Chain A
C-alpha cells in the first residue's frame, strides 16, 4: 500500500486521537471514521469544547480540585458552599475521586486533591503532589479530621503512610478509608487480599 501523504487529514486526525491514554491507532482510526459519518458540526463542536477546556478550567485555590473558571471566584463549588462541614477534609488522589464521593451523597465535608500519588516504581515522590496547600489548610487548627482516601494499592498506601508521618506533629485526627469487601459481594468469590483486609478492619455490630 502506498504511503499516505503527511497532510492526509484522516491520518492526521487519527494520530492526534491516538495521543489519548488508552486509545491505540486502530481505535483512533475508528473514531475518525465515526466523525466523518457524524452530522455536520459534530467535529467542530468537539474541537471547540476541547479548545475551551484548557482556558475554562482551573485549580480551586483552596482544595486544588479542577473547577470551571467563574468571575470573581477562585474556589470550586464545594469550597464556596457555606453549608459544608469545614472541620473534615477527605484527601483524594485525583479530581475524579471527588465526583465519586459526591455521588455517594454521604459526605458533607470538604476535599483536598493531591493530583497524584507517591509511586516508588515510577519515581514519583511527594514533591510533585499538592501537599503544601494541604498543610496550609491545617495551619489555623480549625480542621479536626483528615480522611485519607487514597487508592488501596501500593501507591495509595505509600501516599497515606507518608502523609500520616508528615502530619504526626499536627493536632488533627488522621484516618484512612476502610478496606475490604465490596457491597453485594459474595465471600466465597472474594480475593484473599481483600478478605484479609476486611478481617483486619472488622468492627463490632
Chain B
C-alpha cells in the first residue's frame, strides 16, 4: 500500500552498509519508522533530507513487515539557523525526541506534528531560545498527549495553588504541602508553565522560564514516556567551562 504524507524527521538509525531507518512524526500516522535504502551512500540525495527537524512530504510503501519503505521525499523546509547554533541545535534534537516519545505509533498525531513544526520554525526566528521555549513545547506536547499536569490548582483539593506547594507526578501535578508531598515547587512557576501552555509558541517569548527547569520532562518520564537522551547532552554542555 502506498501513501503520501507530511512528516518531520525525529531521528535516524543506520542499518546495513548504506541504509538508514528514519523515524518520522506524521499528522495522520503518528510515529512511523521507514527504511530509506541507500540513504547513506555518497551519491544519495536522501542524506541531507533525513536530518532531524526536516519537514518532508514523503511517499511510504507498506508491505507485510512492520517497517514502511521510503520511496519519495520532497523537502518542505529544513532547519538552517539551528544547524549553525549549538543551543538551537540541542533544543531541536530535544524537541524531536520529546514529541516523538509522546506521539502514538500509527495513530493520528496532528496536534503534536503541528506543534513540532512550529517549534522548529520558532528555533529559526527566536533571538535567544532557551528553557522557556523548551518548557512551552513540553507543556503543550503533554497537553496534546492527554497528560496535562495540574499547575495552577492543587491536584488534590482543586483550590487555587498558593505557596508553600510541591509537585508530585503521581498525584497529577502541583499540590499544597498540606495536601501531600513531592518535589520542591512554587506557585509562580506553576503560573508561568500554565501561561506557556496556553500561549501560542510563536508569542510565548516574554513569559520566561519556570524555576524548576526539567519538571515537565520528569513528569513525562514518570508517565513512562521515556527520558530524552538530548537532555543529558544539554545539561553536560551547559556545565562545560570554556578553555582558556
- Please tell me if A166 contacts chain B, counting CB pairs below 8 Å: yes
Is A170 an interface residue when CB atoms closer than 8 A count as contact? yes
Enumerate B228-244 residues with CB–CB distance to A below 8 Å: 229-230, 232-234, 236-237, 240, 242-244
Chain A proximity of B138: nearest CB distance (Å): 16
Query: Which residues of A have CB within 8 Å of B78?
Result: 192-193
Residues from chain B with Cβ under 8 Å of A28 in the complex: none
A175 to chain B, nearest CB (A): 15
Task: List B residues 6-29 near A (Cβ within 8 Å).
Answer: 11, 15-17
Q: Say yes or no: B229 contacts A123, CB within 8 Å.
A: yes
Kindly identify, within residues 39 to 73 of chain A, every residue whose CB is under 8 Å from any CB belonging to chain B.
none
Contacts of B234 in A (CB 8 A): 120
Q: In residues 106-135 of chain A, which contact B (Cβ within 8 Å)? A: 118-127, 135
Question: Size range of the interface on B?
Answer: 35 or more
Q: Are A161's CB and B94's CB within 8 A?
A: no
| B237, A170: Cβ atoms closer than 8 Å | no
Whether, in the assembled complex, A6 has its beta carbon less than 8 Å from a beta carbon of chain B, the answer is: no
Chain B neighbourhood of A126, CB < 8 A: 236-237, 240
What's the least CB distance linking A150 to chain B, in Å? Answer: 12
Q: Are A125 and B237 in contact (CB under 8 A)?
A: yes
| A154 within 8 Å of B (CB atoms) | yes
In the bound complex, what is the Cα–Cα distance between A154 and B111 (angstroms)?
26
Task: Say if the beta carbon of A203 comes within 8 Å of chain B.
Answer: no
Q: Answer yes or no: B84 CB below 8 A from chain A CBs.
A: yes
Let me know if A157 and B243 touch, CB within 8 A. Answer: no
Q: Which residues of A contact B83 (CB under 8 A)?
A: 154, 157
User: Contact flags (1/0) for B207-244 with A, using CB distance below 8 Å?
Assistant: 00000000000000000000001101110110010111
How many of A's residues come within 8 Å of B, CB to CB? 34
CA distance A126 to B234 in the complex (A): 10
Say yes or no: is A8 at the interface (Cβ < 8 Å to chain B). no
Is residue A196 within 8 Å, beta carbon to beta carbon, of the partner chain?
yes
Q: For the complex formed, measure the closest distance between the CB of B5 and the CB atoms of chain A, giving whole angstroms.
A: 20
Contact of A169 among B49, B75, B85, B243 (CB under 8 A): B243
Are B242 and A120 neighbours in the complex by a CB distance under 8 Å? no
Query: Which of B49, B229, B240, B243 interacts with A120 by CB under 8 Å?
Result: B229
Instruction: Check if B131 is an interface residue, CB within 8 A of chain A.
Output: no
Task: Let me know if B90 is at the binding interface, CB within 8 A.
Answer: yes
**Highest count of chain A CB atoms <10 Å: which of B11, B86, B236, B240:** B86
Given contacts A121-B11, A169-B244, is CB(A161)–CB(B236) below 8 Å? no
Q: Does A167 contact B (CB under 8 A)?
A: yes
* B227 to A: closest C-beta gap in Å: 9
Measured between C-beta atoms, what is the minimum distance from B78 to chain A in Å? 6
Query: Is the pair B16, A22 in contact by a Cβ cutoff of 8 Å?
Result: yes
From B42, B51, B237, give the contact of A154 (CB < 8 A): B51
| Interface positions of A from 133 to 160, Cβ below 8 Å from B | 135, 138, 153-154, 157-158
List residues 93-139 of chain B with CB under 8 A from any CB of chain A.
Answer: 93-94, 96-97
Does A103 lie at the interface of the complex (its beta carbon under 8 Å from any beta carbon of B)? no
What are the residues of chain A within 8 A of B236 when measuring CB–CB? 125-127
B residues sitting closer than 8 Å to A (CB atoms) are 11, 15-17, 42, 45, 47-49, 51-52, 75, 78, 80, 83-86, 89-90, 92-94, 96-97, 229-230, 232-234, 236-237, 240, 242-244
Sample (27) of A-B pairs whose CB atoms are under 8 Å apart: A22-B15, A22-B17, A24-B16, A120-B93, A120-B94, A120-B229, A121-B97, A123-B230, A123-B233, A125-B236, A126-B236, A126-B237, A154-B83, A154-B93, A158-B90, A158-B93, A161-B85, A161-B86, A162-B237, A165-B86, A166-B240, A168-B242, A191-B47, A191-B75, A193-B75, A193-B78, A194-B48
